[in-house]
């Protein structure tokens, strides 16, 4: 009887120490928890609004906006999963729940984040074909759908090794004489850690290569847009019924018509709407801005991943202020998933109008 009472007392004391230890970490990470909550409160409703407006309120006649809905879905899921993972890390830092929860959240977080990045690469290819090679074969609706599937499958397969290297790790508190559990990199032999660095290097090369591809394609797109803008200034001084001029105007307004292998050429004398002249430019500039913001959001995270990989004790050696600052930068990638709706609002007038109607602000 006395032994049972003693065991119960020890168990209560152990749980009390664990909860107190975890509470210390939770309070320490409260500023980051508040920031993550703000990200979720802004990002999830905004992306859901994007999905609703582009899926049900805007015309389906153009393929120029096709990738907006899949990208919004990916961003929504990425915010929910990465938000759940990071918030659990903050609030249950030394009592992380379950073996499977750690691996699944970590894995899905990487998969969704990478899928979003790969989709930006596919969008850049589609815009390059549309703007720089308008008379060549274009990416039709079937290939757009396939490209989304390919991006998802590529991310799912690419990050399977993560399941082998990350999981729940025991952490000891000698002061309270208790052992907690964190979701972190699993300990292993030097050979295992060496392979982890190789895998992480491969992930980095693929992601950075995608960014380089996006950058190069948008450089070409920008050159063509500037060139066409100069032509359009010259066109305004001439008779717009000239067939050659109609071709130039069609190249600048291709996104307002159904996408085909070659752009439509209007017959002489047919009027062309003036606001169509900048349609392709606006959509391309919109996706270019999304890519730039995405790169800027990923850059701090990538930098800190490289640092912590080469220096495992990096986080332990930081001061309190430096730790909090670096943690914000480490999780800055979430900004990429919440800012797109605001970029659509800046560049896409039709989206902005529908959002105002949606919230009763006609």
Whether the pLDDT of residue 242 is over 60: the answer is: no
Query: At 1, is the pLDDT very low, low, confident or very high (cuts 50, 70, 90)?
Result: low
251-276: pLDDT as tens digits: 444 444 434 333 333 333 344 444 55
SS3 assignment for the chain: CHHHHHHHHHHHHHHHHHHHHHHHHHHHCHHHHHHHHHHHHHHHHHHHHHHHHHHHHCCCCCCCCCCHHHHHHHHHHHHHHHHHHHHHHHHCCCECCCHHHHHHHHHHHHHHHHHHHHHHHHHHHHHHHHHHCCCCCCCCHHHHHHHHHHHHHHHHHHCCCHHHHEEEEEEEECCCCEEEEEEEECCCCHHHHHHHHHHHHHHHHHHHHHHHHHHHHHHHHHHHHHHHHHHHHHHCCCCCCCHHHHHHHHHCCHHHCCCCCCCCCCCCCCCCCHHHHHHHHHHHHHHHHHHHHHHHHHHHHHHHHHHHHHCCCCHHHCCHHHHHHHHHHHCCCHHHHHCHHHHHHHHCHHHHHHHHHHCCCC
Q: Are the beta carbons of 115 and 289 closer than 8 angstroms?
A: no
Contacts (Cβ under 8 Å, ≥6 apart) of 235: 245, 248, 249
- How many of the other CB atoms lie within 10 Å of CB of 204? 14
16-46: pLDDT as tens digits: 888 888 898 899 999 999 999 999 999 999 9
pLDDT of residue 182: 86
- The residue segments making up the domain with residue 151 are 2-358
| CATH for 242 | 1.20.1070.10
Mean pLDDT calculated for residue range 239-244: 53
286-341: pLDDT as tens digits: 888 888 998 899 899 988 888 888 887 888 888 889 999 999 999 999 999 999 99
Most distant CA atoms of the chain, gap in Å: 103
Output the average pLDDT for the chain. Answer: 81
Contacts (Cβ under 8 Å, ≥6 apart) of 170: 179, 180, 181, 182
pTM: 0.82
Query: At 70, is the pLDDT very low, low, confident or very high (cuts 50, 70, 90)?
Result: very high
Provide the number of structural domains found in the chain.
1
Contacts (Cβ under 8 Å, ≥6 apart) of 35: 328
Q: Find residue 169's DSSP bridge partners.
A: 182
The dihedral through the CA atoms of 42, 43, 48, 51 has a sign that is positive
Distance CA 185, CA 169 (A): 7
Whether the pLDDT of residue 55 is over 90: the answer is: no
pLDDT of residue 269: 38
Query: At 6, is the pLDDT very low, low, confident or very high (cuts 50, 70, 90)?
Result: low
C-alpha 15, offset from chain centre:
39
pLDDT of residue 267: 37
pLDDT of residue 118: 93
């Amino acid at each position: 009887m006395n032994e049972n009472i003693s065991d119960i007392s020890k168990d209560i004391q152990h749980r009390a120490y664990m909860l107190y230890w975890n509470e210390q970490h939770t309070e320490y990470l409260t500023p980051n928890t508040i920031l993550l909550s703000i990200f979720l409160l802004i990002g999830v409703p905004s992306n859901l609004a994007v999905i609703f407006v582009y899926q049900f309120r805007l015309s389906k006649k153009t393929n120029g906006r096709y990738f907006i809905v899949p990208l919004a879905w990916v961003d929504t899921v990425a915010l929910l999963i990465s938000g759940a993972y990071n918030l659990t890390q903050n609030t249950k830092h030394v009592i992380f729940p379950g073996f499977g929860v750690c691996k699944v959240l970590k894995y899905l977080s990487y998969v969704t984040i990478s899928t979003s990045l790969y989709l930006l690469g596919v969008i850049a290819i589609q815009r390059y074909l549309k703007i720089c090679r308008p008379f060549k074969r274009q990416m039709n609706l079937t290939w757009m759908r396939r490209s989304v599937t390919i991006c998802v499958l590529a991310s799912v397969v690419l990050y399977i090794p993560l399941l082998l290297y990350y999981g729940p790790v025991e952490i000891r508190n000698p002061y309270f004489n208790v052992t907690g559990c964190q979701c972190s990199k699993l300990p292993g032999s030097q050979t295992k850690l060496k392979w982890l660095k190789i895998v992480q290097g491969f992930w980095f090369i693929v992601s950075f290569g995608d960014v380089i591809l996006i950058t190069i394609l948008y450089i070409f797109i920008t050159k063509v847009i500037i060139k066409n803008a100069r032509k359009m200034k010259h066109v305004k001084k001439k008779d717009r019924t000239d067939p050659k001029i109609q071709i130039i105007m069609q190249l600048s307004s291709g996104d307002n018509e159904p996408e085909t292998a070659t752009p439509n050429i209007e017959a002489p004398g047919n009027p062309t709407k003036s606001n169509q002249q900048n349609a392709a430019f606006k959509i391309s500039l919109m996706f270019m801005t999304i890519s730039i913001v995405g790169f800027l959001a990923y850059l701090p995270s990538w930098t800190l991943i490289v640092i912590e990989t080469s220096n495992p004790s990096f986080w332990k050696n930081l001061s309190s202020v430096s730790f909090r600052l670096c943690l914000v930068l480490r999780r800055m990638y979430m900004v990429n998933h919440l800012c797109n709706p605001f970029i659509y609002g800046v560049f896409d007038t039709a989206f902005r109008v529908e959002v105002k109607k949606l919230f009763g602000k006609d």
